[in-house]
Chain A
Amino acid sequence: MNIVEQATKVTKTAAQGLMKKAVELAPDSWIPGGNPDPLIRQQHGHVGKPVSRLDGPVKVRGAAPFAAEFATEGLVYASVAFSTVAKGRIATLDTATAEAAPGVVLVMTYRNAPRLKPMPAFMSAAKAAGGDSLPILQDERIHWNGQPVAVVLADTQEQADHAKSLIHVVYEAEAATTSFEADKARGTEPALFQGELMKVEIGDAETALAAAPHRVDATYRTPRHNHNAIEPHAATVSWNGDELRVHDASQAVVHTAWSLAQVFGLDEKQVHVTSPYVGGGFGSKTLWQHQVLAAAAAKLAGRPVRIALSREGVYRMVGGRSLTEQRVAIGAGDDGHFTAIVHTGVTAMTRHNAMPEPFIVATRSAYAADTFKLDVEVVHLDMLANTFMRAPGEAVGTFALECAIDELADRLGMDPIELRIRNEPDKDPTQGTPFSSRHIVEAYRTGAERFGWHNRAAPGTRREGEWLVGMGCATGTYPYYRMPGGAARITLTRDGRATVAVAAHEMGMGTATVHTQVAAERLGLELDQVTVVYGDSTLPGVVLAGGSQQTASMGAAVIAAQHALVGELLKLAGNDSPLAGLKPAEVGGLDGGLCKLDEPERRESYASILSRAGRDEVTAEAEAPMPLELQHWSMHSHGAMFCEVRVNAVTGETRVSRFLGSFDCGRILNPKTATSQFRGGIIMGLGLALMEETQFDERKGRVMNPSLAEYHLPVHLDVPAIDVIWTDIPDPHTPMGAHGIGEIGITGTGAAVANAVYNATGKRVRDLPLTLDKLL
């Protein structure tokens, strides 16, 4: 960023600061969520029921079409060749043999690719979805080891893959910056995340730390991680004149359509992206170069194209979580009161997007302390652009913070839960805003009791045969987000059926099911009377399935659309209705019609209203209000994570034997799908704790384990029974009283495992993954 940009940023930030202050001070009733959602009070309807996922049967039958399964006439298959140097230029590129190979339709390289604009990098504009902002097959430059250098189209995938192996590229390599340590030694830069400087200073934390009677001060390291969704990235694309049709695997259909339009110089209406089913996203299913390559090749070949990345392809082309080196230092008084929290460190990123792994975000609101010093610094490497991966920031930041708390508790001779409770803040410790809903202490108390925390022994003292047994705990936390752009359309027909349309996403977490429940409840209909349509860029709303915010975004959008619908219906009902004279806010859905909320016998059915008005259907569309609640309250979810491990005294092998997550995440909308979300997050956290590590060979800047054989994820035998409980206390200021729960499960889990390993062995391991060689 140059000086002018910096200055602009500062001015903008000052203006935002004023606005922020105003929002903080505004009366609750002016703020979205200031008047509690009426659905919070309804305790006996569809919301909160363990409804099985509605897409279960089609998925079990194999009838749910995923991105690489859409049949199109004349379809050709793509295979991508990747660079093998981190920086430089293509000196020679021989595609003749590949072009002559059986079945080959096209070999596309920088020489013949259509002229394309770079993808707008994610967060650079409201609807930007690009993983990076680099030229795509526009020149001979190489920016990372693994960059696509050619795309082959052929009649079969096998022919395309074979022809791809016949492409011969010679590179003129240039000195690349691929060493984290070496680049760090040359100096770091401050991190900007979502336009915000990743720095907080309150008081003089270093002085307070030095003066503290008790302190910990340690460095924690987390490695690179790669995305391994069960469905590798794929798209089926075709052109109809200037209209681009994309069957994508996406957690951002509208963002992707808009961003592809920028790349190809189209109007966003000319790009239609659908994604009815997605095999896991976790932050990775946005726009990466493969969709652009497929669309460009389809345009050049005049044929529809399917691109389905190999697992290696995902590692080469789709970014993952970057590495971090974090210092956490905490100073405490004799009573455990925190006098200083220091959480600083360095992460690696590229200049091709704006994603410094923001590992301090959880620390900003986790504990009260007299002073704070939080800081993320970055180095820029020549590597594949890193990106969002389940709880970016919190997943690795809570590892460092919550291990440090455990270390401090050990030094103080205090129970680590007690130490946490003693430092529980009564308002947001760095923002000063009130919490909208915070019940972590209760989650700890119920969790500790259920887990049998009182049985925890002194470190290294409990042994069963060869196995050392230990328990650990940690706090998980993730913010409540709601992004701008939510909108929904509700269509109600005279037969009492409703269709709710939002450009949202079902990536396997149960969105379609849960929002059918919510919409049915809000409209006063049965589940089989409501259809939620989603996963289509032509539908209302700009709804990212990310930041655990989709439920809130959809919830607020449906509230707005229902208000509009009720308004329409009240107009149609006219003066002959029992509802005559009521305002939309006084009216809600009940038993297939509308009623006065506090006088339910005053009602009229939808069928009656519509038939009297001579209408077959009524439609209302509305946008959710701006998410000002995020500045008015400090809004966060929490989890008290408990882990029991067994560490083999001979071999150092660690096996997790029990795990409990006790969550405070507002009202749980569907216990069945929620349990899966929590467990899935915890399992991913076990992988983060014990085995996940991308081997990035700094000599060439190349990922060396792009395979599930060498990049270890937990398998069934690594996952014990995971107990999940929750407070179920609604947040009075959110739609349905709910919080998004997609990411919190991975937070705190790494620290809970590491703290349990310490309790089992007396050994403190501060660099992940916690493999056996570190425990021998």
Chain B
Amino acid sequence: MTPFSYSRASDAADALRRATAGAKYLGGGTNLVDLMRETIERPAALVDVTGLSATIEERQGGGLLIGAATRNTAVAEHRAVRERYPVLARAILAGASAQIRNMATMGGNILQRTRCTYFYDDEGSQCNKRVPGEGCDAIEGFNRIHAILGASPACVATHPSDMCVALAALDATVHLRSAGGERVLPFTDLHRLPEGRPDIETVLEPGELIVAIELPPPLATRSTYRKVRDRASYAFALVSVAATLAVEEGRVKDVRLALGGVAHKPWRAFKAEDALRGQPATEQAFRAAAEAELAHAVPLHDNAFKIELTKRTIAAVLGELAGEAA
């Protein structure tokens, strides 16, 4: 670990003041501190933002505003979340371990780095994310856990968060604050695809801070999250699906679908959604929607199975939700 300074922000304005060049915001530290130990992250200063808002407020019209410092466990346990956004509670509980969820904050979870063993091997491997332009050892290496959608020749890593997949499916927005003021972004616009600069993972400006996450009223009462992984607990998703489905008279009235473990960012499955609206809520339609979403998936040496796995999991999750709705 490289030496760094540490300070604790009393509020958002204080955090922005402290966030000088080379500083990083520190939430629960469950990813950032690991990366610092591996010398992959070497911030000159850490600004602890766990003292910022950690409240969950009801919004007029039926949404929720969740302070960015709220711990993952607190969100998963919150009654309104469990009742109205079960997909979010389930996604959070599918991730990491109880100890990590107790530490991890909402803002920190969103900003965790992508997962790739070559990215984590600071000393022995090439990675465009660590050293832009250096090359990518994963493309021809072990890439079973890597992306099948939206990857680039520069990077094939995947975003590891479960929670973020649910947020993508819920039409969440993120409230951001910087020296220039405040702005609100659709959650699905926050993370970037790698393109030529995989080292830049979000559209956040330097020093910009996530202060809250807003959930609009849920599309439907039925929503769920399914995670497919190599062991029963404490493993990143090979593929995950977050979905909420509204069915009326046997037809899909509306649907939100997002995928994890398949791309550099939480992947909102817009194509599948478009393909489904107005269609009969049948296994055949679900499978066709999944095919539409994965039509342009590009497999690597070790991860071709993810294409079929994703299709199957999408169809199974939608089938389950449709069955509950019937």
Asked if B231 and A707 make an inter-chain contact with CB atoms under 8 angstroms apart, the answer reads: no
Asked if A690 and B228 make an inter-chain contact with CB atoms under 8 angstroms apart, the answer reads: no
Contacts of A773 in B (CB 8 A): 144, 305, 309
Asked if B309 and A651 make an inter-chain contact with CB atoms under 8 angstroms apart, the answer reads: yes
A165 CA to B229 CA in the complex, in Å?
Answer: 34
11 contacts between A and B (CB under 8 A): A82-B123, A650-B316, A651-B313, A653-B228, A695-B142, A700-B124, A715-B231, A715-B232, A772-B230, A772-B238, A773-B305
A 634-671 to B, binary, CB cutoff 8 A, 1 in contact else 0: 00000000000000001111010000000000000000
Asked if B230 and A691 make an inter-chain contact with CB atoms under 8 angstroms apart, the answer reads: yes
Q: Which of A466, A700, A702, A716 is the most central at the interface, judged by chain B CB atoms within 10 Å of its CB?
A: A702
A650 CA to B230 CA in the complex, in Å?
Answer: 14
Asked if B233 and A697 make an inter-chain contact with CB atoms under 8 angstroms apart, the answer reads: no
A705 CA to B143 CA in the complex, in Å?
Answer: 12
Known: A145-B124, A697-B141. A717 touches B117 (CB 8 A): no
Contacts of B232 in A (CB 8 A): 655, 715, 717-718
A 430-464 to B, binary, CB cutoff 8 A, 1 in contact else 0: 00000000000000000000000000000000000
Q: Which of B1, B228, B232 is the most central at the interface, judged by chain A CB atoms within 10 Å of its CB?
A: B232
How far in angstroms is the closest Cβ of chain A from B90?
Answer: 16
Asked if B230 and A165 make an inter-chain contact with CB atoms under 8 angstroms apart, the answer reads: no
A165 CA to B122 CA in the complex, in Å?
Answer: 10
How far in angstroms is the closest Cβ of chain A from B76?
Answer: 17
A714 CA to B230 CA in the complex, in Å?
Answer: 10
**A interface residues with partner B (beta carbon < 8 Å):** 82, 84, 102, 145, 158, 161-162, 165, 466, 650-653, 655, 690-691, 695, 697, 699-700, 702, 704-705, 707, 710, 712, 714-718, 771-773, 776
Known: A651-B309, A776-B308. A717 touches B231 (CB 8 A): yes
Contacts of B309 in A (CB 8 A): 651-652, 772-773, 776
Where chain B touches its partner, the secondary structure class is loop
- Contact residue among B2, B142, B234, B313 (Cβ-Cβ distance under 8 Å from A650): B313
- Contact residue among B3, B238, B313 (Cβ-Cβ distance under 8 Å from A162): B3
Known: A702-B124, A717-B233. A710 touches B117 (CB 8 A): yes
A162 CA to B38 CA in the complex, in Å?
Answer: 10
B312 part of interface (Cβ distance < 8 Å): yes
Which B residue's beta carbon lies closest to that of A716?
B233
Asked if B231 and A691 make an inter-chain contact with CB atoms under 8 angstroms apart, the answer reads: yes
B225 part of interface (Cβ distance < 8 Å): no
Known: A699-B140, A772-B238. A718 touches B233 (CB 8 A): yes
How far in angstroms is the closest Cβ of chain B from A550?
Answer: 32
A84 CA to B123 CA in the complex, in Å?
Answer: 7
Contacts of B123 in A (CB 8 A): 82, 84
- Contact residue among A158, A650, A718, A776 (Cβ-Cβ distance under 8 Å from B231): A718
How far in angstroms is the closest Cβ of chain A from B221?
Answer: 23
Contacts of B231 in A (CB 8 A): 690-691, 712, 714-715, 717-718
Known: A145-B124, A695-B142. A704 touches B118 (CB 8 A): yes
B121 part of interface (Cβ distance < 8 Å): yes
B39 part of interface (Cβ distance < 8 Å): yes
A702 CA to B229 CA in the complex, in Å?
Answer: 25
How far in angstroms is the closest Cβ of chain A from B139?
Answer: 12
Contacts of B312 in A (CB 8 A): 650-651, 776
Q: Which of A84, A705, A773 is the most central at the interface, judged by chain B CB atoms within 10 Å of its CB?
A: A773
Asked if B233 and A165 make an inter-chain contact with CB atoms under 8 angstroms apart, the answer reads: no
How far in angstroms is the closest Cβ of chain B from A371?
Answer: 40
Known: A699-B140, A771-B230. A165 touches B39 (CB 8 A): yes
B53 part of interface (Cβ distance < 8 Å): no
| Complex interface residues of chain B between 110 and 141 (CB less than 8 A to chain A) | 117-118, 120-121, 123-125, 137, 140-141
**B interface residues with partner A (beta carbon < 8 Å):** 1-3, 39, 117-118, 120-121, 123-125, 137, 140-142, 144, 228-235, 238, 305, 308-309, 312-313, 316
A652 CA to B118 CA in the complex, in Å?
Answer: 27
How far in angstroms is the closest Cβ of chain B from A708?
Answer: 9
How far in angstroms is the closest Cβ of chain A from B62?
Answer: 33
Contacts of B2 in A (CB 8 A): 162, 165
Contacts of B117 in A (CB 8 A): 695, 704-705, 710
Q: A690-B230, A697-B137 are in contact. List 17 more A-B contacts (CB 8 A).
A: A84-B123, A102-B3, A158-B1, A651-B312, A655-B232, A691-B230, A702-B121, A704-B117, A704-B141, A705-B117, A712-B230, A712-B231, A714-B231, A715-B231, A715-B233, A717-B232, A772-B228
Q: Which of B39, B231, B313 is the most central at the interface, judged by chain A CB atoms within 10 Å of its CB?
A: B231
Which A residue's beta carbon lies closest to that of B319?
A650
Contacts of A704 in B (CB 8 A): 117-118, 121, 125, 141-142
Contacts of A161 in B (CB 8 A): 1
Known: A772-B309, A773-B144. A707 touches B120 (CB 8 A): yes
Contacts of A710 in B (CB 8 A): 117, 120
A403 CA to B137 CA in the complex, in Å?
Answer: 36
A158 CA to B4 CA in the complex, in Å?
Answer: 12
How far in angstroms is the closest Cβ of chain B from A400?
Answer: 23
A161 CA to B37 CA in the complex, in Å?
Answer: 9
Contacts of A714 in B (CB 8 A): 231
How far in angstroms is the closest Cβ of chain A from B143?
Answer: 10
Contacts of A158 in B (CB 8 A): 1
How far in angstroms is the closest Cβ of chain B from A199?
Answer: 35
Which B residue's beta carbon lies closest to that of A158?
B1
Contacts of A702 in B (CB 8 A): 121, 124-125
A509 CA to B235 CA in the complex, in Å?
Answer: 28
Asked if A162 and B124 make an inter-chain contact with CB atoms under 8 angstroms apart, the answer reads: no
How far in angstroms is the closest Cβ of chain B from A47?
Answer: 38
A776 CA to B238 CA in the complex, in Å?
Answer: 13
A691 CA to B234 CA in the complex, in Å?
Answer: 13
A267 CA to B237 CA in the complex, in Å?
Answer: 55
How far in angstroms is the closest Cβ of chain B from A711?
Answer: 10
Which B residue's beta carbon lies closest to that of A651?
B228
How far in angstroms is the closest Cβ of chain A from B316?
Answer: 5
Contacts of A653 in B (CB 8 A): 228-229
A210 CA to B289 CA in the complex, in Å?
Answer: 52
Which A residue's beta carbon lies closest to that of B235?
A712
Contacts of B120 in A (CB 8 A): 707, 710
Asked if A715 and B3 make an inter-chain contact with CB atoms under 8 angstroms apart, the answer reads: no
Contacts of A699 in B (CB 8 A): 137, 140-141
A593 CA to B117 CA in the complex, in Å?
Answer: 64
A716 CA to B230 CA in the complex, in Å?
Answer: 14
A691 CA to B144 CA in the complex, in Å?
Answer: 13
Q: Which of B137, B230, B234, B305 is the most central at the interface, judged by chain A CB atoms within 10 Å of its CB?
A: B230
Contacts of B308 in A (CB 8 A): 776
Which 9 A-B pairs have CB atoms at the shortest separation, nearest pair first? A717-B232, A773-B305, A84-B124, A717-B233, A704-B117, A651-B228, A650-B316, A695-B142, A718-B232
Asked if B230 and A697 make an inter-chain contact with CB atoms under 8 angstroms apart, the answer reads: no
Contacts of B305 in A (CB 8 A): 772-773, 776
Contacts of B144 in A (CB 8 A): 773
Contacts of A145 in B (CB 8 A): 124
A162 CA to B124 CA in the complex, in Å?
Answer: 17
Contacts of B1 in A (CB 8 A): 158, 161-162
Contacts of A718 in B (CB 8 A): 231-233
How far in angstroms is the closest Cβ of chain B from A85?
Answer: 9
A653 CA to B316 CA in the complex, in Å?
Answer: 14
Known: A650-B312, A704-B117, A772-B228. A715 touches B234 (CB 8 A): yes
Asked if B316 and A466 make an inter-chain contact with CB atoms under 8 angstroms apart, the answer reads: yes
A74 CA to B316 CA in the complex, in Å?
Answer: 62
